Structure 1
């Protein structure tokens, strides 16, 4: 009789544990981060473009929430990725500029391959791994070329991409690979093999393969496209879709179409395997569109490399079925810093236990459980330039001219400088910026002075928003 009761009890306990395990597994959302490179704020259908074709990303926007005021932590690629993956202002650990060999000041603390994400820092993949996640990065890394900075040493289980900041969308020749070895295409660690297809298409194929192989367990996929960063290279079949465009604008449209197609393949794969309902999907961009590739940041002024809205405000979509209302908008300011805590909590982790984060979990805000603004203030800094946004107010500090003050809610184009009308507000915000800067590390590397001078020139040249043609 005792054995019979023991068998029954064992069966009950086993079933309860199974139910608990199944429930816990259901809480762990798959996470897909689709991250564009150097895209223009306006260069998507859901952002208002009438000339670029982005049907898949537009569909994602209709199924999820569009953020009207989403910000990156930097106006250039590398630092913004550091902030995204750590959830910490990258200036706190000394990253303010891209780690591009040959462009750095010789007085920099680190140079060459040594310029990378400090090893004591954890990435979102590091936090997701103990929660049972399989993680992959596809595409651009740009956080250190040396082996010690490799994605597989920074929490990721798989890597298909390149360590540097920009490369051809087609197979590189031997000369190109020799001159810029950090931009060779790599699968895993040290397995270098150039793509057989257009790289954006290859990334989509690898992403779909990863989903196929990991559909039975929770996964994190960071799709770090190098599209639509230069060089402007596209397939003829994509170019043929834009007869009314010419020059760089046509190339950019074709590259954007290829990236949209890649996003569509990934989204379709999730639907095909029945994973869509349990997947958190985010689409965003690393910084504002640059001035040299004919991107359009309308209605924002500014561009990549400066702190006007066109340099730091980016398109952003978030979709989570049965949690986030389809076709909705969020109008308060959010940051790419918020992705890490949002992802950790979506993975049934507890981001509040992670010390030092500057980001917040967005889900309570976007679902209406928390009606406050996610951030009272947001900050930016590079060299002597600094910015603080407090509510609707934005202060910009420059090395070569007086500070500027704007009410972003009333003046999205930053054309009405209110600094002289509100000197007390300038003083107040200057103090906030100064106090924040007091807790930052000195930059680990800095650009040669001429490049900072050129960045200042672009601030003046890109003051007037221009609609795409």
Structure 2
């Protein structure tokens, strides 16, 4: 009996120590933010002291990308660790935008159930899991977060809603607490999401946890509190609204970061901050400078995003990583940090970036990267980026030398254009057909938006060759 008691105690202590060694993971994810609209990115207008402090505590990815320039597909890629077009999630899933002949419509558009998510993998490793805020990966019950590896949910299933309580909410705008129970926020939603996350941390501080804090800030509608607006008396219109909403976003992130520090668990917590796509400058007055383009197109302003990672126990302060990384790298990175065997991750495209960040591996995590939206597509190989358009010849840019994509090199490097074009086509042949399709008019809208927010097609200067 003494031997049995000893073994029970031994293994119990082992499990507790092992659990405590696993890092907590907090993913702070913004919506539609501009590349330049944070202090740590160089903004002199926005007030983001908490995120600026987070940037100093770890690594800034100077070439951080998403796998798609729109909300739903970007999130699908991040949560599965792979190109979402591989399983047909190529288009944004917004009911009412779909072609009348689309294969799936309405609530049927969601992340396929045969895809295992970040939450599933971490739950398998013993993590408590929660998501707060915007879901946008399917409205039908079978796509619900609680059916996709999350233990707790407070948020809304769709892509956008008011930051204040609705009197009579309907459809995917309703604020839901767990499954099928509804609770509208009693104050500004950005703050409420953070408060829910803080309560989750307090209840699970003795256990490894994963929180996906999926803000809808700073997506439209442009709504801010009077107190936050008052912090920007020199701004007007949407730009003032955006600054106030960004201030609230930063404050919400600060609540979570401060709680981690208060509980003494900040050193062994991985915190990531990023954004789902480039800022839609024409919709929310966001600023993507020095990048060309906006949300929904494949210029850098549509796919390059602010991207921070902090883990004080493992990552050096004030680090910078200058090679391309993608948000779908987060799944293998989190899984490896949590003690998982990367061999368990079947058929993903993401890479564990920690060895690169810590200097244990040299070079770039990705030799080649792809993006696709119907006819429009991109391949990035090394420093070169080829963009294929539906209405003009392909263009070629050297991204590190020309981050604003002003100087088309296609005529200077015709063989490279041909080679990269072929690689793009070969990759496309590995993809599934899209599960749903947008009305054609939205493709025209995206191309027109790109033309409005690009720097121009200029001859390449001799001194930059």
**Could you say what the CA RMSD is over the residues aligned between the two structures, in angstroms?**
1.4
What count of residue pairs does the alignment treat as equivalent?
Answer: 455
Match of 1:407 in 2: 398
1:101 equivalent to 2:95? Answer: yes
1:325 equivalent to 2:309? Answer: no
3-state DSSP class of the match of 2:235? Answer: coil
Separation (CA, whole Å) in 2 of partners of 1:165 and 1:400: 29
Specify every segment of 5 or more residues in structure 2 that has no aligned partner in the other structure, as ranges: 457-465
13-22 or 255-264, which deviates more: 13-22
- Cα shift at 1:13: 5.2
- Cα shift at 1:248: 0.3
3-state DSSP class of the match of 2:257? Answer: helix
The counterpart of 2:128, out of the listed 131, 134, 138, is 134
Match of 2:460 in 1: none
TM-score (norm 2): 0.96
8 Å Cα contact 2:20-2:208 kept in structure 1: no
Q: Deviations over 1:91-118 (max 9, x none)?
A: 0010112111111111211001100000
Separation (CA, whole Å) in 2 of partners of 1:222 and 1:414: 33
1:123 equivalent to 2:117? Answer: yes
Match of 1:438 in 2: 429
Q: Deviations over 1:4-43 (max 9, x none)?
A: xx95x66875665455434422331100000000000000
- Residues 282-293 of structure 1 aligned to structure 2 (within 5 Å): 282-291=272-281, 292-293=283-284
Specify every segment of 5 or more residues in structure 1 that has no aligned partner in the other structure, as ranges: 1-5
- Residues 55-134 of structure 1 aligned to structure 2 (within 5 Å): 55-134=49-128
Separation (CA, whole Å) in 2 of partners of 1:409 and 1:15: 57
- Cα shift at 1:88: 1.2
253-262 or 119-128, which deviates more: 119-128
Separation (CA, whole Å) in 1 of partners of 2:284 and 2:86: 31
Q: Deviations over 1:113-141 (max 9, x none)?
A: 10000011111111111211110010000
3-state DSSP class of the match of 1:265? Answer: helix
Match of 2:462 in 1: none
Match of 2:255 in 1: 265
Separation (CA, whole Å) in 1 of partners of 2:102 and 2:335: 34
- Residues 178-257 of structure 1 aligned to structure 2 (within 5 Å): 178=170, 181-257=171-247
3-state DSSP class of the match of 2:284? Answer: coil
8 Å Cα contact 2:20-2:207 kept in structure 1: no
1:51 equivalent to 2:51? Answer: no
3-state DSSP class of the match of 2:95? Answer: coil
Match of 1:364 in 2: 355
Q: Deviations over 1:222-264 (max 9, x none)?
A: 0000000000000000000001111100000000000000000
153-162 or 352-361, which deviates more: 352-361
Separation (CA, whole Å) in 2 of partners of 1:410 and 1:327: 24
Separation (CA, whole Å) in 1 of partners of 2:413 and 2:20: 52
The counterpart of 1:388, out of the listed 379, 386, 392, is 379
8 Å Cα contact 1:142-1:163 kept in structure 2: yes
3-state DSSP class of the match of 2:129? Answer: strand
8 Å Cα contact 1:27-1:348 kept in structure 2: no
Q: Deviations over 1:407-462 (max 9, x none)?
A: 00110000000001100000110011111100101001111001100100111111
Match of 1:376 in 2: 367
Match of 1:456 in 2: 447
8 Å Cα contact 1:27-1:346 kept in structure 2: no
3-state DSSP class of the match of 1:421? Answer: coil
1:277 equivalent to 2:235? Answer: no
Cα distance change of structure 1 residues 106 and 52 upon mapping to structure 2, 3 Å threshold: same
Separation (CA, whole Å) in 1 of partners of 2:342 and 2:229: 44
TM-score (norm 1): 0.95
8 Å Cα contact 2:368-2:379 kept in structure 1: yes
3-state DSSP class of the match of 1:107? Answer: coil
